[in-house]
Homo-oligomer: A and B are copies of this chain.
Amino acid sequence: MTLADATTPSPAVRPVRALLDEGAGPAHERVYKALRRRILHGEMAPGEHVTLRGVAGELGVSMTPAREAVRRLAAEGALAISASGRVSAPILSPARVEELASIRALLEPELAARALPRAHFSLIERLKRMDAEIDQHLKSGDAAAYVRGNLEFHRTLYLRAHAPAMLALAETVWLQTGPSMRALYARIGMGRVADYHRKAIAALAAGDEAGLRLAIRADVRQGLTMLSNEGLDQA
């Protein structure tokens, strides 16, 4: 079975779910969040096609909210739409990967620097714990969990910057690299990844803005450089 059907064939649905419901919100946003998470965590292969009726049926909604969610993700670059309207996860060219890496290298050090003066002890401790978890996933070879943890680490740090527009832009870039990243780690096996997170945390604790910027920049560059090389290899 898929999920959420049972007795919802008629136009008279029951949106009784008011507050504090987990999968709350309008249907189009539920679909958006579900697809976004799927893309961000690399659960979708580059070039993979999705159909409106497919996602609609899968999430138990009609085509209308499914279309809105897909369009929204396409506007963010997370999905590509062909001339005929077919929707698929984008396949990044090496040039595009370089561009996205440059954007991350511009935005994320700035976000980290803005978070620096606001980083209290508890935040640093939390980041240390997250980094330890990431190392676990790395050792156990769980690529999906590694990618997820990595994004969570960066996001947790950048949230302290109190720069929502800048963070939104960074997340847009993550969204675009999502499918390719998973494919990368699945192929490479993520053998050697330097621990720039640790350097970033140390700089954060020391109040060293320049060091923090460098660590974040290196961390960002590392992942996407690997992706770029891979792209050239298979081409």
Q: Give the interface of A toward B (CB within 8 A).
A: 28, 64, 67-68, 71-72, 75-77, 95-96, 99-100, 102-103, 106-107, 110, 162-166, 168-169, 172-173, 176
Contact A165 B100 (CB under 8 A): yes
Contact A103 B176 (CB under 8 A): no
When distances are taken between beta carbons in the complex, the residues of chain B under 8 Å from A110 are 102, 106
Contact status B169-A165, CB under 8 Å: no
Of B71, B99, B107, the contact of A163 (CB 8 Å cutoff): B99
- Smallest CB separation, A175 vs chain B (Å): 11
Contact between A169 and B172, CB atoms less than 8 A apart: yes
Contact of A169 among B75, B95, B103 (CB under 8 A): B103
Question: Which of A71, A76, A176 has its CB near the most chain B CB atoms (within 10 A)?
Answer: A71
Please name the residue on chain B nearest to A98 by beta carbon. B163
CB A64 to nearest CB in B, in angstroms, measures 7
A75/B76 contact (C-beta < 8 A), A100-B165, A103-B169, A110-B106 known: yes
Contact A176 B169 (CB under 8 A): no
A164–B67 Cα distance when bound, in Å, is: 25
Assembly CA distance A106 to B104 (angstroms): 11
Q: Which B residues touch A102, using CB under 8 A?
A: 110, 163, 166
Chain B residues with CB under 8 Å of A107's CB are 103, 106
Q: Which residues of B contact A71 (CB under 8 A)?
A: 28, 68, 71-72
Closest Cβ of chain B to A209, distance in Å, is 15
B75–A75 contact, CB under 8 A?
A: yes
Nearest opposing residue in chain B for A161, CB measure: B99
Residues of B within 8 A of A164 (CB): 96, 99
Across the interface, which residues of B come within 8 angstroms of A68, CB to CB? Answer: 67-68, 71
Q: Are the CB atoms of A165 and B72 closer together than 8 Å?
A: no
Q: How far is the CB of A79 from chain B (nearest CB, A)?
A: 12
Bound CA–CA A103/B164 (angstroms): 11
Complex alpha-carbon distance, A120 and B77, angstroms: 30
